[in-house]
């Protein structure tokens, strides 16, 4: 195995675990920092090392950095729930801002470039032109969007102060295997779980809100490509898709005869979002390769295999 070591915060999470797999496949040695509040140790590859540490605990995180001395840092650990950020903005800020500062401090000590995962839609707000470029002025409508913007500002400031080529990757709506159907995040996983159980999912915004859906395998590939690239990059497809269309495609994949329940949008949620990914292609040659219909069908199959242990026993 290579002597190159990557430190991945949030590496036991949905996206982070795929980044870990991609790094291992590329020959990296990987150490994961995750407090397992939303991550799952079962997602961690056998070849990786897991350190159960909260990024808001500065001393504990410093100890990991000192032991690992990483050549690159992938910072994915975050409070990523919009509605939870509305309910508890203080904790949202503590994780997404203070935690990011702690990660930057550790990376600076070892001269390691940071790839920071941020949000696209929640950052740009409802009034941005579509598809939205990285030059659009952020206008977040939730504490989550505000905290990620603040985290970005620190990443950029540390890049300018240290000369380390930190990258900010603003992700579209990521979907794929290992995504949890519980909570608000991950409409693809939520719909898949409901269809698998033969239940009607709720389509907030009456099915009309749009997002830019990008497969997690494409995202992991983008984050590895962003190492050493200084700048802010949208990681997305540039295609706007309504929630109702996602439900229809997943219903087809499930061969189900289920109707969705319509409901208004929740506080802090966007009406429309679509990101322009052209800068990532121009600077480091990345573009999304997995089409939505193909990606959703494969994701439904993978997720239902993961759901199987949760299937209720048959009565009788």
Positions marked active-site: 144
* CA distance linking residue 14 with residue 171, whole number of Å: 13
Other Cβ atoms within 10 Å of 130 Cβ, number: 15
What is the rounded (10 degree) CA torsion for 275, 182, 270, 76?
Answer: -40
- Of residues 229, 233, 231, 243, the one with CA closest to residue 173: 243
Other Cβ atoms within 10 Å of 79 Cβ, number: 22
6 in Cβ contact with 29 (< 8 Å): yes
32 in Cβ contact with 50 (< 8 Å): yes
38 in Cβ contact with 239 (< 8 Å): no
Which distant-in-sequence residues (6+ apart) come within 8 Å of 133 by Cβ? 234, 276, 278, 279
- Angle at 125 (CA atoms; ends 213, 146), nearest 5 degrees: 105
End-to-end CA gap in the chain: 53
215 in Cβ contact with 288 (< 8 Å): yes
């Amino acid at each position: 195995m290579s002597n190159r070591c990557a430190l991945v915060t949030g590496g036991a999470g949905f996206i982070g675990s795929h980044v870990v797999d991609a790094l291992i496949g590329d020959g990296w040695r990987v150490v994961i920092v995750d407090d397992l509040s939303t991550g799952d140790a079962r997602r961690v590859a056998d070849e990786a090392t897991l350190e159960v540490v909260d990024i808001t605990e500065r001393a504990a995180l410093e100890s990991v950095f000192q032991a690992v001395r990483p050549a690159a840092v992938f910072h994915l650990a975050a409070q990523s729930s919009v509605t939870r950020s509305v309910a508890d903005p203080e904790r949202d800020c503590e994780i997404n801002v203070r935690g990011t500062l702690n990660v930057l401090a550790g990376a600076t000590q070892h001269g390691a470039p940071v790839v920071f995962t941020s949000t696209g839609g929640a950052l740009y707000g409802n009034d941005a032109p579509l598809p939205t470029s990285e030059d659009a002025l952020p206008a977040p409508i939730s504490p989550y969007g505000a905290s990620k913007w603040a985290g970005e500002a620190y990443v950029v400031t540390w890049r300018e102060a240290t000369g380390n080529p930190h990258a900010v990757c603003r992700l579209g709506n990521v979907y794929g295997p290992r995504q949890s159907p519980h909570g608000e995040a991950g409409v693809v996983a939520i719909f898949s779980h409901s269809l698998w159980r033969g239940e009607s999912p709720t389509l907030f915004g009456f099915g009309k809100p749009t997002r830019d859906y990008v497969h997690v395998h494409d995202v992991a590939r983008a984050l590895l490509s962003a190492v050493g690239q200084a700048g802010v990059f949208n990681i997305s497809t540039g295609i706007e898709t309504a929630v109702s269309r996602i439900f229809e495609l997943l219903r087809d994949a499930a061969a189900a005869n289920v109707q969705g329940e319509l409901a208004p949008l929740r506080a802090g949620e966007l009406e429309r979002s679509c990101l322009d990914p052209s800068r990532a292609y121009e600077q480091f040659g990345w573009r999304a390769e997995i089409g939505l219909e193909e990606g959703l069908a494969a994701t439904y199959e993978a997720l239902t295999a993961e759901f199987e242990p949760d299937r209720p026993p048959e009565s009788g």
